[in-house]
Structures are given as structure tokens and as C-alpha cells.
């Protein structure tokens, strides 16, 4: 393999994150997330969001999302989400597992963004005793198709949901990329989001994410919920330390900005030098290309790993670790496939 563009998860830990783990390994620290490293990392997140919030660090984005949704809906209710959202397509029913039966209602929308009309239609569905009614909305920023919601787009989706008294969850696995694209993080609590998953792994941490509760009433017995779910780390500082390193050094933002720039370079090269077309706007760190299966197989055989996504396009994801030379080389390889 020459390079793996299949996901930003294929990249290693960013140096700032790794150094922070090494620093946290020195000496002794209080257990179960009551240590100084965890407190400092949580403060860094609060500063980015300009909000007072309860914050807990967990082992995975799947657990973070599923536990968050279990707080917003009863087992006999459902969560509205884009039909391509990670919670719908890639978490093996985890929201239902952690939520003891919570359902998911997939909604359509171009390039990963929920269609306003579809959302309003779902909200207007009558509540009947034979199916799970909607009780919350889950959004993804940046989306599964590499697009970035504007503040106005989010407002139009969130306001009717909040007007009905429902909760709102935001999956921010690639929130750093959205921020690097110009999205103002301080708008998240102001828009009415109740629970945010603040992404770490894809930004250069190890397998760690942060659950951010803006609605502190949801934090009642949160630690009991996390413990039961196997998400309470005895050496909690090692979940928080990568965040601390990334955020105190600004590598969280800088790495995402670099990843976005590499995606833009890749997209420009494909458009200029290959017969293939882009399937979605390139606004963050992912590029989706309409490519026949034969061409895709040939590219993989040349050592360039890339993934055929749900819509049939081929996905290339850049990370903090993607190099200019690698992007130029894969563009050259793609140019020979036509």
C-alpha cells in the first residue's frame, strides 16, 4: 500500500497528542477523570465553545453518539437523522442498544445535509401507538459527505425541533474540519444543541471523544450511566491528554486546516487531470469521485486505498498526516485510469 485514503482514522496520533500522553504518564494522578489533565482538557473545549458545559471523555465516537441519543429519547421513541449519518449506517444499532430500544428515522438530503422539507414532514407525522414517534434530532458537522452546514442551515433545522420540545444532538467527529472551513464553534450552544460529541480521533487523537452537555439537566447521574456502559476509564487522564495536547497547541485546528487544504488540492487535481467528476462539494477533508468499479479496482491495485461509499462514489479522506507529495502522486495515478 502506498497510502490509505480510506479514512482519516488510518492516520496515527498527531505529535502534540502523543506528547501529551507521554506527559500525562509521568508520576501519579487521581483516577476516574478527576485529575488535572482531564480538567484542563475540558476547559480547553469550553473555551472553544464559549460555553459552560459538563464534559466527559469516552473511548469511542459510537459510544459517545449512542449514549447521547439515549439521553434524548425514551426507548419507545426515535431520533431523526440523515439517512447516511454514522448513527444510521455504521454503528450496528448502538443507539438502540444503549437506549434500550430507541429507534432511528432516516431522512433524505443532498450531500449529507438533511432536507428541510423532509424534516418538517417527519415532525408533522401524527403520534400513533404503533410506531416510535420522533423525540430528537441528530445532526453531523461536517457531514458524512464532506459538506459543512452553515449556521443558517442549522438554525432552520433546529428551530422547529426545539419548538416541539425535542432534543438536539450534534455528531462532531469531524468538527475540527468544519471549524477549519469557517464554522463558528461558539454558535453550537446558541443554536440550541443539547449534546455535542466533540471529535478527537479523526483530529489526531487516539480512540477518544468528548461528550459535551450544554443542557446540564441531562448530566444527572451521568457518571453512573457511563460506568454501566463501560465508558469510565480508571486512568481517565489518558483519554483527556490527547485533547489537551491538540487543543493547547492549536494542532486540533491546524491539522484540520491542513487536511482540508489537501482535500481541496486533491479535488482540483482530479477535476483538472482526470476524466472523473466530483460527486459532492468539497468543503472539508473528504473528496467523493464518480469512478467506475474497474477504475477503482485498478487504483487499489496500484497501492492507493480508497473506499466506495454508500452512494456509489469513491471516497478519499485526507488527514493531518496527508502530504502534498502523496496527493500529487495519487492525482497522477488517477489521471492514468481514464
Q: What length does the chain have?
A: 338
Percent of the chain with pLDDT over 70: 100
CA–centroid distance for 161 within its chain:
21
In the beta sheet, which residues pair with residue 78? Answer: 103, 134
Taking residues 260-281, report their average pLDDT: 98
Q: Which is it for strands 314-317 and 286-290: parallel, antiparallel or unpaired? A: antiparallel
| Residue-level pLDDT at 338 | 78
Q: Is the pLDDT of residue 203 over 90?
A: yes
Whole-angstrom distance, CA of residue 64 vs CA of residue 202: 14
Q: Is the pLDDT of residue 96 over 90?
A: yes
Segments making up each domain of the chain, as ranges:
3-10+251-335, 15-248
206 burial level (CB within 10 Å; 0-12, 13-18, 19+): middle
Q: Is the pLDDT of residue 1 over 90?
A: no
For the stretch 33-66, pLDDT in tens is 999 999 999 999 999 999 999 999 999 999 999 9
Percent of the chain with pLDDT over 90: 99
Q: Is the pLDDT of residue 283 over 90?
A: yes
Name the pLDDT band for 330 (thresholds 50, 70, 90).
very high
Q: Is 302 helix (H, G, I), strand (E, B) or coil?
A: coil
Taking Cα atoms as reference points, which of 316, 273, 12, 274 lies closest to residue 145?
316
First to last CA, the chain: 21
CA–centroid distance for 286 within its chain:
12
| Residue-level pLDDT at 247 | 98
| Residue-level pLDDT at 109 | 98
For the stretch 14-38, pLDDT in tens is 999 999 999 999 999 999 999 999 9
Q: Is the pLDDT of residue 244 over 90?
A: yes
**Mean pLDDT computed over every residue of the chain:** 97
CATH 1.10.10.60 assigned to 3-10+251-335: no
This model's pTM is above 0.95: yes
Q: Is 287 helix (H, G, I), strand (E, B) or coil?
A: strand
Q: Which is it for strands 209-213 and 195-198: parallel, antiparallel or unpaired? A: antiparallel
* One fold for 3-10+251-335 and 15-248: no
Taking residues 147-157, report their average pLDDT: 98
CATH number of 15-248: 3.40.640.10
| Residue-level pLDDT at 66 | 98
Whole-angstrom distance, CA of residue 279 vs CA of residue 312: 9
Taking residues 129-145, report their average pLDDT: 97
Report whether 186 contacts 178 (CB < 8 A): no
Whole-angstrom distance, CA of residue 33 vs CA of residue 25: 14
Q: Is 136 helix (H, G, I), strand (E, B) or coil?
A: strand
Q: Is the pLDDT of residue 83 over 90?
A: yes
Report whether 27 contacts 165 (CB < 8 A): no
Q: Is 73 helix (H, G, I), strand (E, B) or coil?
A: coil
Taking Cα atoms as reference points, which of 148, 285, 150, 147 lies closest to residue 204?
285
In the chain, which residue ranges form alpha helices assigned H by DSSP? 15-24, 36-49, 61-72, 86-89, 94-98, 116-123, 151-163, 175-180, 187-191, 222-228, 237-248, 251-273, 293-301, 324-335
| Residue-level pLDDT at 251 | 98
Whole-angstrom distance, CA of residue 52 vs CA of residue 74: 26
Whole-angstrom distance, CA of residue 224 vs CA of residue 70: 14
Q: What is the DSSP string of 185-217?
A: TTHHHHHT-SEEEE--GGGT-SS-EEEEESSGG
Amino acid at each position: 500500500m502506498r497510502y490509505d485514503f480510506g479514512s482519516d482514522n488510518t492516520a496515527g496520533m498527531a505529535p502534540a497528542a502523543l506528547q501529551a500522553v507521554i506527559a500525562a504518564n509521568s508520576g501519579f494522578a487521581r483516577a476516574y477523570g478527576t485529575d488535572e489533565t482531564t480538567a484542563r482538557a475540558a476547559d480547553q473545549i469550553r473555551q472553544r465553545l464559549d460555553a459552560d458545559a459538563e464534559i466527559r471523555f469516552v473511548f469511542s465516537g459510537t459510544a459517545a453518539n449512542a449514549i447521547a441519543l439515549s439521553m434524548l429519547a425514551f426507548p419507545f421513541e426515535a431520533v431523526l437523522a440523515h439517512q447516511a449519518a454514522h448513527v444510521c449506517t455504521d454503528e450496528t444499532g448502538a443507539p438502540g442498544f444503549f437506549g434500550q430500544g430507541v429507534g432511528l428515522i432516516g431522512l433524505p438530503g443532498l450531500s449529507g445535509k438533511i432536507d428541510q422539507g423532509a424534516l418538517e414532514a417527519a415532525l408533522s407525522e401524527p403520534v400513533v401507538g404503533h410506531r416510535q414517534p420522533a423525540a430528537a434530532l441528530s445532526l453531523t458537522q461536517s457531514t458524512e459527505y464532506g459538506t459543512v452546514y452553515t449556521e443558517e442551515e442549522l438554525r432552520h433545522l433546529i428551530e422547529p425541533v426545539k419548538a416541539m420540545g425535542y432534543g438536539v444532538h450534534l455528531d462532531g467527529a469531524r468538527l475540527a474540519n468544519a471549524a477549519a472551513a469557517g464554522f463558528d464553534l461558539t454558535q453550537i450552544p446558541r443554536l440550541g444543541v443539547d449534546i455535542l460529541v466533540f471529535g478527537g480521533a479523526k483530529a489526531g487523537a487516539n480512540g477518544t471523544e468528548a461528550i459535551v452537555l450544554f443542557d446540564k439537566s441531562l448530566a444527572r447521574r451521568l457518571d453512573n450511566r457511563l460506568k454501566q456502559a463501560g465508558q469510565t476509564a480508571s486512568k481517565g487522564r489518558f483519554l483527556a491528554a490527547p485533547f489537551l495536547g491538540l487543543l493547547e497547541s492549536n494542532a486540533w485546528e491546524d491539522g484540520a486546516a491542513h487536511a482540508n487544504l489537501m482535500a481541496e488540492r486533491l479535488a482540483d487535481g482530479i477535476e483538472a487531470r482526470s476524466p472523473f467528476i466530483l460527486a459532492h462539494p468539497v468543503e472539508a477533508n473528504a473528496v467523493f469521485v464518480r469512478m467506475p468499479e474497474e477504475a477503482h479496482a485498478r487504483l487499489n491495485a496500484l497501492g492507493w486505498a480508497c473506499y466506495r461509499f454508500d452512494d456509489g462514489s469513491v471516497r478519499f479522506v485526507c488527514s493531518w498526516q496527508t502530504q502534498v507529495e502523496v496527493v500529487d502522486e495519487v492525482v497522477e495515478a488517477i489521471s492514468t485510469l481514464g
